[in-house]
Amino acid sequence: MTLVLDMNMWKDSLGADEFVKPILSVIGVCEVRHYLEEFDTAPYDRVILSGTPLKDDEYLNHPDAFKWLKKYDKPVLGICAGMQAMAAAYGAKVEKCQEIGMAEIRTLVDNPLFSGTFKAYELHNYAVKSTKKFITLAESNKCTQAIKHPKKPQYGILFHPEARNIDVMEAFIR
Amino acid sequence: MKLGVLFSGGKDSTLALQKAMQKEEIACLITVASKNPESYMFHTPNIDVTRMQAESIGLPLVRVETSGQKELELVDLSKAIIEAKKEHRIEGVVTGAIESVYQAERIQRICDKLDLWCHNPLWKLDQENLLRQILENQYRVIISGVFAHPLDDSWLGREIRADTITELVKLREKFQISPSGEGGEIETTVLDAPFFKKRIEITKAEKKYALNSGTYDIIEARTVEK
């Protein structure tokens, strides 16, 4: 069973319609929790952390809500806000880096989620600063686009795969 | 959060309005009336009916006109949003965008510049699911424009019902037409929805059709108590 974490500022928001529901329509059966709710990740096979609207960066003010990541060894996919929260939980820094619209993504390291150069939809004000805590898998002209934990199957991607690259999400849940 | 809804009077912006009303406070509707029937950004048939729809719903309407030149219409959209922010103190904008990153990106940029939230509650919604929600919510929607083969003039003015949806889905299988018209194949006008205090009755309309495209122009209409 997959757990999808709603990263929006509050539960059942308009942001969830836009950033959580499209994930559910790709992955099918799953459970959804808000990131500030109490939950136990142990029963889940994998966790997906959603994105948020451009103006919603409240998740950066709640680092304690992502402490569970360090103890969780199963697959994780952090999308946009989810990537930033995941990286911050492992001690990486987040910096201002805005992209809105389609961008060209270049793969730097072979990985199971994507390959080559492709276009993807971007909507963010922040990005993960280049760090040795993660392997950088892809980049655009402006920002780090994808990272992987060096030991665990835990990925962060900055673009929104639910918008134009659902094959990336399908590869993650395969 | 006080929001303004970009409102064309068609099914998508009306459903986006309904979803936004369920979660936030709606301060106004915002309409950009484009004189360009081939606008990339804005729905054009019967755009003036939005005045009557706003009255039926009971919301103020911020309306601006645009010549519809490709990037100039974005300047006019920006003006409309600025007016809504000033007059109605909106903190964000709601759109009916479903698939178009062209539309979404441009509106996101305008909202970012104006320090406003941008919400797209129908984003990536499956087209059949969207049409089903229209039926389940007992909307009365007519097809007010057709812009793709094999949609002929018999579709103009037709109400969207279960049988219409079945036919549109069949056309998708054969002609790759988007059943909800997301690719611009059809445009719609909403005459009634659960949150309309009055319904709209068309008293005079005219079909115009040539070369695989046409419109159902509402010439006279009135609001009727429900």
**Digitized pLDDT (tens) for each residue of chain A, 174 residues in all:** 999 999 999 999 999 999 999 999 999 889 999 999 999 999 999 999 999 999 999 999 999 999 999 999 999 999 999 999 999 999 999 999 999 999 999 999 999 999 999 999 999 999 999 888 999 999 999 999 999 999 999 999 999 999 999 999 999 998
Query: Do residues A134 and A151 make contact, with C-beta atoms less than 8 angstroms apart?
Result: no
Angle at B138 between CA B90 and CA B158, to 5 degrees: 100
Flag whether residue B111 sits within 8 Å of chain A, measured between CB atoms: yes
Whole-number average pLDDT of chain B = 89
From the list B101, B118, B124, which residue is nearest A22 (CB)? B124
Interface of B with A in 71-100 (CB under 8 A): 92, 94
Report pLDDT digits (tens) over B103-135. Answer: 899 999 999 999 999 999 999 998 888 988 999
Q: pLDDT tens across A74-107, in order?
A: 999 999 999 999 999 999 999 999 999 999 999 9
Is the pLDDT at B199 greater than 60, yes or no?
yes
Q: Would you call B203 helix, strand, or coil by DSSP?
A: strand
* A contact test, residue of B17, B24, B123, B127 with most A CBs within 10 A: B123
**Nearest residue in A to B109, CA atom:** A100
- What ipTM, to 2 d.p.? 0.94
Contact between B119 and A18 using a beta-carbon 8 Å cutoff = yes
Q: Please list every residue in chain A whose beta carbon sits closer than 8 Å to the beta carbon of residue B19.
A: 14, 17
**pLDDT above 60 (res B43):** no
Asked whether the beta carbons of residue B123 and residue A100 sit closer than 8 angstroms, the reply is no
Of B92, B105, B116, the CB nearest to A101: B105
**Secondary structure string (H, E, C) spanning chain A:** CEEEEECCCCCCCHHHHHHCHHHHHHHCCEEEEECCCCCCCCCCCEEEECCCCCCCCHHHHCHHHHHHHHHCCCCEEEECHHHHHHHHHCCCCEEEEEEEEEEEEEECCCCCCCCCEEEEEEEEEEEECCCCCCEEEEECCCCEEEEECCCCCEEEECCCHHHHCHHHHHHHHC
Q: How close does chain B come to A25, measured CA to CA in Å?
A: 8
Query: SS3 of B25, please?
Result: strand
Is A162 an active-site residue?
A: yes
Residue A77: partners with Cβ closer than 8 Å, 6 or more residues away: A46, A47, A48, A49, A154, A155, A156, A157, A169, A172
- The verdict on a CB contact (< 8 Å) between B126 and A25 is yes
Q: What is the mean pLDDT of residues B71-79?
A: 88
What confidence score (pLDDT) does residue B182 get? 62
Please tell me which residue, B169 or B204, carries the higher pLDDT value: B204
